[in-house]
Amino acid sequence: MTDQLTIAMAQLNQRVGDLAGNAKSMLEWRAKAPGADLVIFPEQQLIGYPAEDLVLKPVFAARAAAQLAELALATGDGGPAMLVGSIFVEDGSLYNGVALLDGGRVAAVRYKHELPNYGTFDEKRIFAAGPLPEPVEFRAIRLGLPICEDGWLAPVSKHLASRGAEILISVNGSPYEIDKDDRRLEEVFAARVHETGLPLLFLNRVGGQDELVFDGSSFVLNADGSAAHHLPDWEEHLRVTHWSRSESGWRCAVGPKALWEDHPADIYSAMVVGLRDYVDTNGFPGVVLGMSGGIDSAICAAIAADALGPDRVWCVMLPSRYTSQSSLDDAAECAAMIGCKLDTIPISPAVDAFDVMLSGSFADVDVDITEENVQSRIRGVTLMALSNKFGHMLMTTGNKSEMSVGYATIYGDMAGGYNPLKDAYKMTVFAISEWRNRHRPRIGLGREGPVIPEQIISKPPSAELRPDQKDSDSLPPYPELDKMLHALIEEELSVDEVVARGFDRVIVSRIERLLYIAEYKRRQAPPGVKLGTRNFGRDRRYPITNAFRSG
């Protein structure tokens, strides 16, 4: 009987659809743990997660199977076995599963039983549910393999324990959400350990995939609920864990316990990782963005510099007749502090040209928001021209507060390829800006020290599209607006319920109306980093045409 076991946890990034590249990466990481008995990898690591409807292409599933067979052959070298997540076709059904590769063959396969169908997940429309899985025999040890959602709910782990499992290994593709790392350990998987009396390895991936960001934060819990290992957040990492068996069962020797980031450092890191992987994986040489002298564009430039390095960030000031000298000065100072390139392209000639072009159609009609939107759209066209000519991806810089109520110009400041602030309310923008001026993120490539002038953070926000304009002319103060929006969006409260919290009914009703009628804009917005439980995208799927109002 085996009384010692070494399991290497490979907390890795991925590239969706890159079967050969993902397989090569797994073999490279396996080679870093030559003395391990088993190397485990995150959910669907072979194909990348989530591959969405790509998995429905028969040729994709066939190539995944062929690549898995090649990986299995590689384990014939006498080195560690591998636990690899992929997709599997059996009797015409498609499954999300894991394969134990050992001795040059596929030694066992287990399918995911619990298929998540909420928030960003819709696995029930893609995969068939596997049966309650049996333990896998490995080196005379019975391993229970709950796959992601299988571990978030109780039945699979309880079944595995009842069938004689000795150690639970849960491989995951668990996206970042605020406070989720603590909830995984302290609530969800601690409960599985308590219910089963078994030790558990939780393995998650890191990296960005479109709007999702994976934070890693993997860990090991012993059967008494104590933590034996914490892997770092946000970084690829290989952790070799050492196990021994006694009369009371298997126990993992205690190893390093990385400290996971608190707020708002974790939010900032999520934005950095999401932007970095989106830009790099899609092959952009860098990013270009409009630098207004305001806080949103300033923090976006700082995030981009930390994600890519300052030399890959190109800021462009696009002043109009309404742009204040202080905004010009603030933008220049901010770009200098960040260390990125800044160009200035006045838009007045284009604004004048549009005034002439539209003078006949607009004759005898008062000036209104239309003229403001023309300025924003001229800026969008200018920035897209730079993006097209030089290849840099255009970043958008609007925050969730603005996007919630439609305080953004479609085909103007909404034009672009990616937005790190998409799920960040305005007060979050202030918080991460103040944090970044005091700290350089551990994973950041930007400069040490402050990167945003203090006056940018402290001055009243303004779009500067008309004389003396302030955001507060059109919207409630952001501290109040964000609380109302959080209640309406994240909590799905009615107007009556929000009013009961002390807000004015007329204002709340107006905000709800703006929230609903701006849906068509959000459908045309670029992707951005998911931070909370109800991002504008797959978390919140509202109809564009919608007559309902709660108050």
Judge contact between 143 and 243, C-beta under 8 A.
Answer: no
Q: What are phi and psi of 257, to 5 degrees?
A: -125, 95
φ/ψ region of 503 (left if φ > 0, alpha if ψ in -120 to 50, else beta) reads beta
What sign has the CA pseudo-torsion 360, 365, 369, 372?
A: positive
CA distance 69 to 67: 5
Among residues 148, 252, 315, 334, which one is catalytic?
A: 148
What angle, rounded to 10 degrees, do the helices at 348-358 and 369-390 form?
A: 130
The token duo for 481 is 């607006």
Residue whose C-alpha is closest to residue 355's, from 371, 379, 376:
371
Clarify whether 112 is annotated catalytic. Answer: yes
CA distance 333 to 317: 12
Cα distances from 436 to residues 302, 447, 536, in angstroms, run: 8, 10, 25
Among residues 112, 180, 426, 521, which one is catalytic?
A: 112
CA distance 460 to 456: 9
Clarify whether 148 is annotated catalytic. Answer: yes
Secondary structure tally for the chain: helices H, strands E: 18, 19
| Residues written for the chain | 551
SS3 labels along 328-368: HHHHHHHHHHHCCEEEECCCHHHHHHHHHHHCCCCCCCCCC
Q: Is 282 exposed, middle or buried (0-12, 13-18, 19+ CB in 10 A)?
A: exposed
Among residues 43, 149, 166, 402, which one is catalytic?
A: 43
- The arrangement of strands across the sheet holding 227-230 comes to 136-138, 141-144, 167-171, 200-203, 219-221, 227-230
Helix or strand run (H / E) with residue 221:
strand 219-221
Rounded-to-10 torsion of CA 381, 385, 386, 388: 130
Judge contact between 139 and 5, C-beta under 8 A.
Answer: yes
Q: DSSP 3-state assignment of 408?
A: coil
Helix or strand run (H / E) with residue 271:
helix 265-281
- Sequence-distant (6+) residues with CB within 8 A of 325 are none
CA distance 490 to 500: 17
What sign has the CA pseudo-torsion 150, 154, 157, 162?
A: negative
Helix or strand run (H / E) with residue 138:
strand 136-138
**What amino acid positions are annotated as catalytic residues?**
43, 112, 148
